[in-house]
Amino acid sequence: MQLIALAFDAPHAIDAYLNAVSGAIRDRSDAYDEGEAIWSVVTFLVSLAVTFGLYQTGFIRGLRDRVEARLPRWAAVFPFVLVYTLVFGLITLPLDIWLSHFREVAYGNSTQTFGAWFGEYLIEFGLNLVATAIFVGLLYLVIRALKRTWWIWGAGLSAVLIAVMLLILPVFIAPLLNTYTPMEEGPLRTDILNLATAAGVPADDVYVYDRSRQTNTISANVSGILGTTRVSLGDTLLADATPAEVRAVMAHEIGHYVLNHIYEMLFAFTVLIAIGFAFANGTFAWAARTFGGKWGIGDIGDIAGMPLLFALISTFFFFATPVVNTIIRSNETEADAYGLALAREPDGFAAVSMKLGAYRKIDPGPVERFVFHDHPTGRDRVTMSMNFKAAELAAGATDLDPSQAPLVPEVERYVAEREAKRTGGGK
């Protein structure tokens, strides 16, 4: 067993994988990832500025007065939210267009024309508009009925609505943007179903969705709760990954399901929402006293205070970004470990992690990683994979090949083809 362990050099394999994405491509990946962090700050500041401007111009006060003059106070919430959200969305539309379309095209991630992207944007905006109106309408019933403790009951309401969305997402919402079809019969489909069966996932089929209609990035998921669980993978994963890489990715996604991450995060985010609501509740009175005279805001149950209330909540979550990302990153790390143990494809997972490095920063600094990254880095994942392989070989594993060279050529092929497509040199 010692001879087998010595035949595999984990540090050398780690370096080989990390060097597979280098030069201008790695610089571009770093720039894209760093830009994401910068633009998240810009987006937050723009949202605050738009909210402030709509108050200063008297738009919000006037809108509240008009809808409440025509409807009972409880019913006025819905048209107020619909109009405010539409106006806010129109003002911030240029920023959305830049970030979600033109920037993605510039970095070679998007496969859509502007028309195709905008059509899907309108669908998503419409769904969000309806969901927001329902949520805010119910939340203001809670706020007005339970002014002192609304933040506790409001967090519970948020948890219920999130759970409902998780239930209907894979069945009713996801098919609005993509077509899901059963995966073709073959060894790879059998392998994925065997992994699911071994892990206790209640899936009798695997679905492929046409992710390539929007992007060339790699993704897969095990989504839904209760009876809506669905094992799905994007057609980009099938096109751009080897069978070993696909098995590694699907085992990771199965890990999320088996480890109950969806319920764990639902609980964690409900607690965070309660804290965020408590923060907004505690600061609302001060903000209303400071600005309420000019802005026409009464008590916290006044719908004119809704944009202010949600600005305070978004401020809390902006500064809580490291906490949110740490929760998600911890679950991702657990799923990585589970997936390696289930699929036993350390080279496959290392290789696909480096393919993700074509548009995710592979080796960010510790502060950048803590604040802005909600997934383990490429370095983290390659290191875990090769250390897993070394430990298993040392323990006498016979299903791992100590002489297998790192799958660096496969990573280099993917990166070269992706770059050719970005510059127009590929199909």
Is 227 found in the same domain as 96? no
Section 385-393 average pLDDT: 96
4 confidence band (pLDDT: 50, 70, 90) = very low
Is 206 found in the same domain as 248? yes
Is 189 found in the same domain as 143? no
- Retrieve residue 50's tokens: 């738009």
The pLDDT value recorded for residue 3 is 40
Is 138 found in the same domain as 36? yes
Query: Are 78 and 137 spatial neighbours (Cβ–Cβ below 8 Å)?
Result: yes
Any known ligand binding at 256? yes
Is 359 found in the same domain as 287? no
Is 278 within the bounds of a domain?
yes
Is 377 found in the same domain as 331? yes
For residue 207, the cross-strand partners are 182, 232
Q: Is residue 226 left, alpha or beta, with left meaning phi > 0 and alpha meaning psi from -120 to 50? A: left
**Which range of residues forms the domain containing residue 372?**
2-27+179-260+324-422
Where among 301, 319, 337 does a domain terminate?
Answer: 319
pLDDT digits (tens, 9 = 90+) for 240-298: 999 999 999 999 999 999 999 999 999 999 999 999 999 999 999 899 888 878 899 98
How far apart (Å, rounded) are the C-alpha atoms in residues 425 and 427? 7
pLDDT digits (tens, 9 = 90+) for 183-240: 999 999 999 999 999 999 888 899 999 999 999 999 999 887 777 778 999 999 999 9
Helix, coil or strand: residue 231: strand
Section 94-112 average pLDDT: 95
The pLDDT value recorded for residue 5 is 46
Is 394 found in the same domain as 268? no
How far apart (Å, rounded) are the C-alpha atoms in residues 4 and 77? 69
Any known ligand binding at 261? no
For 327, 333, 383, the CA distances from 33, given in Å and listed in that order, are 20, 20, 21
Is 361 found in the same domain as 271? no
For 175, 181, 206, the CA distances from 171, given in Å and listed in that order, are 7, 13, 14
Is 377 within the bounds of a domain?
yes
The pLDDT value recorded for residue 425 is 54
CATH number at residue 22: 3.30.2010.10
**Positive or negative torsion for Cα 141, 144, 150, 151:** positive
Is 233 found in the same domain as 167? no
> What is the model's pTM?
0.92
The domain total for the chain is 2
**What are the b/e assignments for 370-383, b being 16+ CB within 10 Å?**
eebbebbbbbbbbb
Is 75 within the bounds of a domain?
yes
Active-site residue, from 240, 336, 345, 380: 336
pLDDT digits (tens, 9 = 90+) for 51-79: 999 999 999 999 999 999 999 988 999 99
Q: How many CB atoms are closer than 10 A to CB 273?
A: 21
What residues contact 144, with CB distance under 8 A and at least 6 apart? 74, 301
Instruction: Supply the Cα-derived Rg of the chain in whole angstroms.
Output: 24
pLDDT digits (tens, 9 = 90+) for 334-373: 999 999 999 999 999 999 999 999 889 999 999 999 999 9
Is 129 found in the same domain as 246? no
Q: Is residue 71 left, alpha or beta, with left meaning phi > 0 and alpha meaning psi from -120 to 50? A: beta
253 belongs to the catalytic site: yes
30 belongs to the catalytic site: no
Any known ligand binding at 124? no
Active-site residue, from 245, 253, 302, 410: 253
Is 97 within the bounds of a domain?
yes
Is 382 found in the same domain as 311? no
Helix, coil or strand: residue 230: strand
Is 389 found in the same domain as 305? no
How far apart (Å, rounded) are the C-alpha atoms in residues 245 and 265? 26
Query: Are 342 and 99 spatial neighbours (Cβ–Cβ below 8 Å)?
Result: no
Please say if the pLDDT value at position 108 is more than 70: yes
Summary mean pLDDT of the chain? 92
How far apart (Å, rounded) are the C-alpha atoms in residues 73 and 93? 30
How far apart (Å, rounded) are the C-alpha atoms in residues 340 and 386? 10
Is 45 within the bounds of a domain?
yes
Where among 283, 303, 319 does a domain terminate?
Answer: 319
Question: For the chain, what percent of residues have pLDDT higher than 70?
Answer: 98
The pLDDT value recorded for residue 2 is 40
How far apart (Å, rounded) are the C-alpha atoms in residues 128 and 147? 26
For 35, 311, 314, the CA distances from 99, given in Å and listed in that order, are 10, 21, 19
Helix%, strand%, coil% for the chain, nearest 5 = 75, 5, 20
Is 427 within the bounds of a domain?
no
Instruction: Count how many Cα atoms sit within 13 Å of the Cα of residue 235 in the half-sphere of its side chain.
Output: 13
Where among 319, 349, 368 does a domain terminate?
Answer: 319
Nearest residue to 207 via CA among 224, 217, 198, 216: 224
